[in-house]
Amino acid sequence: MLSSTPWQRLLLQQTTSTQHEGRRLCTAEAGVRRAIRAVQQTEGHGRRGSHWVSPAGGLWCTLTIPAPHGADPFDNLLIALAAREAVAGLLGPGQSGLAMKWPNDLIHQGRKWGGVIAELHGPADQQEILFGIGLNLQIEAESLRQHREIPDETTSILSEFGHSPSPEEVLESILFHVDRLLEEDRSMGGRERSRLQLSEVLDTLGRRIRWNGPGDRTGEGEAIGLTTDGALIVDQDTPAPRQRCQLRSARISHVRTRNGR
């Protein structure tokens, strides 16, 4: 049982990146479930190496999870879902609108407030997955605007709702939801239930999207579902007949809202 192994917690006041610290700790001692949190990061990164500004008031952490059988890309979605569920639960009833954008963004009304990256580390017989989580929580909008590299659509939970749970509260709730979601996913029929749960909050589904993938591949179409390994199923715009494709690694943008509005 995944939840039978306790989490080892580590708090750093400042570090270059919790991912860097995770790699170091996993190299020194493999097979440990860790939650590494930093009050501030100086060299945080998002997907594809993009810089992620990490001021105080956000949750900057890395979860290291042993993966003796290799990586399951679907887990990246489940970790993002755990973060979404944690914050939504702590905000309380009536605080709706928290959603996910495939493959790793956390959004509210189209504005990004968090994200998850996944990294495989270690030799084949001692592999670990390092899940980096960055959430803008107790951060004022003015603080975000001070950094030119932050896109204009970036937001924080405090900016969106007027209040926010603390990084400490959110991390503890995330660990609870990670245990719950991964254990449920591994149970009989769990993957299909996980897909249904993700579909309820994955704002990408039902939208027209545009993507840029590996090798500068581009395309446009309608996102219609998820595969069992977390790929996005898209009805691609092509000369008739339409072609269906699966995206496993791509940068996407929402071209049109649901229902064509």
The DSSP output letter for 162 is S
Residue 146 is predicted with a pLDDT of: 74
Other CB atoms within 10 Å distance of the CB of residue 97: 13
Per-residue pLDDT of the chain (261 residues; tens, 9 = 90+): 455 679 999 999 989 899 999 999 999 999 999 999 999 888 765 554 455 567 889 999 999 999 988 899 999 999 999 999 999 999 988 766 899 999 999 999 999 999 999 999 988 888 999 999 999 999 988 777 776 666 778 899 999 999 999 999 999 999 999 999 999 999 999 999 999 999 999 999 999 999 987 766 788 999 999 999 999 999 988 776 678 889 988 889 988 655 544
In 3D space, the residue among 64, 58, 94, 95 whose CA is nearest the CA of residue 79 turns out to be 64
Spatial contact of 31 and 6, defined as CB atoms under 8 Å apart: no
Residue 261 is predicted with a pLDDT of: 41
Let me know how long the chain is.
261
pLDDT per position as a tens digit, 77-122: 999 999 999 999 999 887 668 999 999 999 999 999 999 999 999 8
Rounded to whole angstroms, the Cα distance separating 132 from 46 reads 8
Share of the chain above pLDDT 70, in %: 88
pTM summary value: 0.91
Spatial contact of 158 and 75, defined as CB atoms under 8 Å apart: no
Structure tokens at 178: 């990670």
Residue 70 is predicted with a pLDDT of: 86
| List of domains in the chain | 2-201 (3.30.930.10), 208-260 (2.30.30)
